[in-house]
Structure formats: structure tokens, C-alpha cells
Amino acid sequence: MGGNGTRSVIVVGAGIVGLSTAWFLQERGVQVDVIDRGGVAAGASWGNAGWIAPGLAVPLNEPAVLRYGLRSLLNPSAPLHVPASLDPGLWSFLARFAANSHWRSWTRAARAGLPLNDECVEAYEVLAANGVSAPVIAAPITAAFRTPRQAETLLRELRRLEAAGQRVEHTVLDGGRLAEHVPLAGGALTAGVRIEGQRYLDPGAFVQALGEAVVRRGATMYAAEVDEVRTDARKTTVRSATGTVLSADAVVLATGAWLPRLARRWGVRVPVRAGRGYSFTVPVDHPVPGPIYLPGERVACTPYRDGLRVAGTMEFRDPDAPPVPARLEAIIASARPLLRGVHWEERTDAWVGPRPVTPDGRPLIGATAAPTVYVAGGHGMWGLAHGPITGRLLAEQITTGEQPAALADLDPLR
């Protein structure tokens, strides 16, 4: 039982963040049930690049992203795409994002992420050592560039991270050494930066294994969409349109890009929008010893089931909108000239998933205006990396009633 009397919790959302919170609550003796409209790993958890990359967990709201976004605003083939829309909520969000796209706000977000980056790998190791039976693989991530001048852009970013308090061990590669480390690198790539000490995994397999572990430890998994959350002096109750009603001492809302729908009622005013990413898998002719990053194209490539998972783009569109095939074609068009031995026409597993993005680059983790309603979300591109450590910190807050220092700048009520 938690130190503040929390014996039972309902977690709404069965992605990496929700399931990690459930697992670490169970570690603290709390009875947990999980409810999700689509089942385990149905949202942004399944098809992402699978990186646990604290060395690259850079806040999105840097001035260069704003400048790039303005240049490519309505370009359907640009990696960052905002479709023509009359959605006032989207334009309000983008205005707030623009207002936060300066170095002071970026530095605050980078410093707020330090505790998550520092402990994210260790939190995965805890899960892997205690029954979550899916491999987490240690490997450097190699960023590849057309020119050494382009590589300097990433090196400046790493220096800014270091100035914010996070040291990133890295090695600069010339074209010859890049070809040695990345057999898929084509002749157009002449410079690289190898980020040491990172990890990667098969995200769908890992989240499935985590869900199975949570169920083995006593949770019930419900497939239903929660329409309402109510709380009174005795219990917190969630209800679905299909008639599912669950009650517990507290509830955690971990619904990713859909978070505002339930969290707004409880005083969470920071908007969360879907920055949708696309991915697919292709066969390759050469070994893939570790993840490959193409920063100029904003494309991430990961070893995946004897092939290559290719992921990219940031598309601000409704999370439930159908996929846009042109987005996949844009990823291929940008990466094809840079990689060799890739069978682009044989792609499978085409996927789109909504990353939950906040305008200030900081996730939302902690208590809401209702003392028994908590939220965990808004991690942007780094939900997979930060999911387990988020769950561990939030479980500590729920069971002790005290906000961990690491969550002070991630307060959902800011």
C-alpha cells in the first residue's frame, strides 16, 4: 500500500508510458488495472524507431525548427508538415509553440529532461531484469551527413546539451570511417557523428512483453475507450460508452496525443497535439550493426527483424486521421540517394502513429487539480525512451504523496 493510502489505480492507456506506470505501481504494492481503446501498443508505441537515446533527446522547440517549419509550412513533402486547415486549436498550438521557440525556453526544457535522460536506460534495465522478456540492445547511433559542414549542426546541438548539463559521448567520423561503421551508407554521405552509449529495441515486442508482465502481476486489461472520469471523496471512476465502469483510489491518464480530451477537465491547460510519424520496414543487402540517423532528412533507421525500420516526418494532423501515402513517399525520396542496398519497393509494415507534442518541449507528468487524477504524457518524440522512468517517478508520487524533484518542472498544471 502507498504511504498516502493509495491501494488501487486505474491506468488509462496501454502504451509504453501507461504500462510502465502500471508496472512500477505494482512494484510498490498497488493493485492496477489498465484500460485502452485499442489494446497494448495501439498508439505511438508500436511503429516508432525504437530508440532509447538520451544522447539525442533534444527538445523540439529550438529556433532552427521554427525557422524550418515556417519555410516548409505547406510543403507536403517536407519532413515537418502542417496541412492547410481551419482548425483553430492547431493554429493556437502552433502560435504557442512559436512563442516557446527561443533558447531560454529550449534550455529550460533541456534541463527539465536531464533527470529523465540520466535514468532512462537504468529504468529499462530494471524492467528487463524483472520479467519483461524482450531484448534491449546496446549500440551507438550513427548520424550521417552529406558534408562535414552539415555535421557541425549536430555537434553544435550536442554542445548546447552539454551546456545545459548533459554530456554526450560522441566520435566524429570521416567518410571512410563512416562507411566502416555504416555499411548501408552511400557515397553521398561523407561525414558522421557516432553517439555512444545508446540503446534500441523492437518497440512493439517490448511493449507487448511489458503488458504481459503487468497482467502476470495481477492487472486486468480492458479494451474500451474511456469517455468520462469522475472522482469523489471515496473513489475515482472511469466509464466507457460501451458500459465498462471501473473504480479505484486513483487514475492515471496516459492517453498520448488524446490526453487533452480527458485531462482538460482536471485543470491541465497545456495543449497536446499529435505530431504524427510514419514508418515502414524494408529488406537490405548489407549488415545493420546499429541505428542510423539522417538529421538533414529527419529520418531514423533501426535494425528490425533482419531488415531496416525507416521512420520519419512530423505531421501535425488529427491523431485519428487516415494515413497520407505521400508522407511515406517523401521519406523514401529523401533517404534513397543516401543509402545503398535498400529495397525500397519491397516495403512492409507501413504505419502512422501520433506523437504527443507540447508547445514548450516539456512533458506533463504528475497530479492534476483533482488529487486522485494524474497524467503522464506529452513526451513528443521521446516517449519510448522516457516511458519507464516516467512510470517510476509517477509511481513514487502517487504512493508517497510527494512530488519527486525530477518532476517539478514537468507539472501538468504549469
In this prediction, residue 5 carries a pLDDT of: 81
Give pLDDT, residue 40. 85
All three cell numbers of 194:
557516432
What lies within 8 Å, CB to CB, of 40 at 6+ separation is 14, 19, 207, 208, 211, 221
pLDDT computed for residue 387 by the predictor? 97
Give CA separation, 138 vs 50, 258, 275, in Å. Answer: 12, 32, 27
- 0.85 exceeded by the pTM? yes
C-alpha cell at 53: 537515446
Q: How confident is the model at residue 388 (pLDDT cuts 50, 70, 90)?
A: very high
Helix or strand run (H / E) with residue 11: strand 8-12
Q: What is the pLDDT of residues 297-331, one digit of tens each?
A: 999 999 999 999 999 999 999 999 999 999 999 99
**Predicted confidence (pLDDT) per residue in 322-366, tens digit:** 999 999 999 999 999 999 999 999 999 999 999 999 999 999 999
Task: Indicate if the pLDDT at residue 68 is higher than 70.
Answer: no
pLDDT in tens, 208-226: 999 999 999 999 999 999 9
pLDDT digits (tens, 9 = 90+) for 156-177: 999 999 999 999 999 999 999 9
Determine contact, residues 301/200, Cβ cutoff 8 Å. no
Q: What are the strands, taking DSSP E only, across 241-363?
A: 245-248, 250-253, 273-282, 292-294, 299-304, 307-316, 348-357
Band the pLDDT of 2: cuts 50, 70, 90: very low
User: What pLDDT was estimated at residue 71?
Assistant: 63
Which CATH architecture does the domain made up of 8-410 adopt?
A: 3-Layer(bba) Sandwich (3.50)
Written as nine digits, the cell of 325 is: 501515402
Amino acid at 100: N
